Amino acid sequence: MEITLKKPKNIKTKNIIITIVYYFFLSVGALAMLLPFFWMLSTSFKFENEIFAVPIKWFPSKLTNFNFKRALEVQPLFLQMANTFLLALLKIVGEVFVSALIAFGFSRFEFKGKNVLFMILLATMMLPYEVTMIPSFIIWTKLGLTDSYVPLALPAYFGSATFIFFLKMYFETFPKDYEESAIIDGANYFTIFTRIFIPLAKPALITISLWSFMGTWNDLLGQLIYINSESKYTIQLGLSTFSSMTGEVLWGPLMAASAIGLVPVIFILLFAQRYFVEGVKMTGIKG
């Protein structure tokens, strides 16, 4: 028998007030998040003399595409973005899948030395890479593999500590009984991993894919050290040319180029966020 309750009027108004408050706070925060981006974008369209005008000019009085033209003249930004995409792609496949594999091992199994190994994993994130950077560079130079994407991409195929750590914690939110029934049915661990855990972990996997992509997109120092040829330049290297050694910064073109560099990442983000919709999962395993 169904019982329908009619919502009394004051609960309805309460809900409306909650909704308004909710959106208000959310929007104020969102505005704060967006303002710096807005300035970046608006600066890209300003003439040089308006960039640091006093008082601030929010909207350029005259739009100009001079900065964009200049930026693209100075650097083949689209080629550099393509290169970065290539490098990101090479890394994602390794980083995401292999990290998941390893995290699975750390979270669902007990074996001798596991805790020690996991602490070592955490420890590798604690030593600043600036001090291991040059020894690594020396090794890669001896191997003759500099001026390529190999030093940057190959380690990805052995997992990335941050991602492994995150996925391990994420897997720990799954109840034990997820594998139990599958084991009883005789499935081997690899199948359990691919058939059960991977699909269930989609949002987490999307998260680390996004991180992996952004990590590649934003990494200046690593790419600078290992890439020599201009044809292999990534977007960060291209952007770095807008500030010179002597301290002169081309603000307009720099903002324009940075804005161009952000576009692909925002698109990917828009695409990825769909997977974070709250699910309708229930406790208990589906048959």
Partner 1 sequence: MDKKKRRAGFLFVLPWIIGILLFTLIPMIAALYIGFTDWTIIGNAKFIGLKNYQDIFKNEDFYQALWVTVRYAIFAIPLTIITSLVISIFLSKNRKGVGIYRVIYYMPAIVSGVAVAIVFKWILDPTNGLLNSILAIFKIKGPDWLYDANWVLPSYLIMAVWGAGGGILTYLAALKDVPQDLYESASIDGANNLQKIWHITIPMLTPIIFYNLVIGIISAFRKFTDAYVLGGIGKEGNFYMIYLYDRAFSQYEMGYATALAWILFAIILALTLIVNITKKYWVFKAE
Partner 2 sequence: MKKIFISVSLLLLMLFLASCGKKGRAENEFLFATWAAGTELREFNDVIRRVNEKADGEYTVSVQSIPADYYIKLSSMISANNAPDFFWLTQELISKYADLGAALDITSWFEDSDVLVPDDFFPGVLNSATYQGKYWGLPWIANPIMIYLNEDLFNLAGVELPSATADWTWEEFIDICREFKGMKTADGKDIYGCIVDGWPNIETFIWSGGGDILADDGTVLIDSEESLRGLANLHTIITEGLTPKYSEVGSLGSNNVWFEKGRVAMFMGGVQDNFEYKQTFVSEEERFPIKYAPMPKAPDGGQWAFDWTASTIVSPKVKNKDLAYKALEALTLEFFTWKLAPPIIGGEEKIKEIAPLKEDAYETIVYTLQFARSANYLPEWSKINDKLWYDLYLLMLQNKPNFNYETETRKIANYTRNLLKE
Cα pseudo-dihedral 162, 211, 95, 216, rounded to 10: -110
CB of 223 to partner 2, least distance (A): 10
C-alpha dist (Å) from residue 58 to 46, 62, 99, 175, 260: 10, 12, 44, 52, 20
| Token pair belonging to 97 | 């899948």
Shortest distance in whole angstroms from residue 261 CB to partner 1:
8
Binding mask 149-188 toward partner 2 (x if CB under 8 A, else -) reads xx--xx--x-------------------------------
Residue 120 engages partner 1 in binding (rule: CB under 8 A): yes
Q: Contacts with partner 1 in 44-103 (CB under 8 A)?
A: 52, 54-56, 98, 101-102
As measured in angstroms, the least distance from the Cβ of 251 to partner 2 is 7
Beta carbon nearer to partner 2, 14 or 195? 195
CB atoms within 10 A of CB 264: 16
- Asked if residue 262 binds partner 2 (CB under 8 A), the reply is no
β-bridge mates for residue 243, sequence order: 249
Find residue 225's DSSP bridge partners. Answer: none
The least distance separating partner 2 from the CB of residue 115, rounded to whole angstroms, comes to 29
The C-alpha atoms of residue 277 and residue 203 are separated, in whole angstroms, by 9
User: Rounded CA gap, 235 and 106, in Å?
Assistant: 35
Q: Are 240 and 192 in contact (CB under 8 A)?
A: no
What's the CA angle centered on 80, arms 79 and 85, to 5 degrees? Answer: 95
144 binds, among partner 2, partner 1, none (CB under 5 to 8 A by kind): partner 2
Residue among 264, 247, 277, 283 nearest 174 (CA): 283
Does 153 participate in binding partner 1 (rule CB under 8 A)? no
Tell which one of 16, 17, 34, 89 touches partner 1 (CB under 8 A). 34
The binding site for partner 2 (CB under 8 A) comprises: 48-49, 51-52, 54, 74-75, 90, 93-94, 97, 133-134, 137-138, 141-142, 144-146, 148-150, 153-154, 157, 220-221, 224-225, 228, 230, 237, 240-247, 249, 251
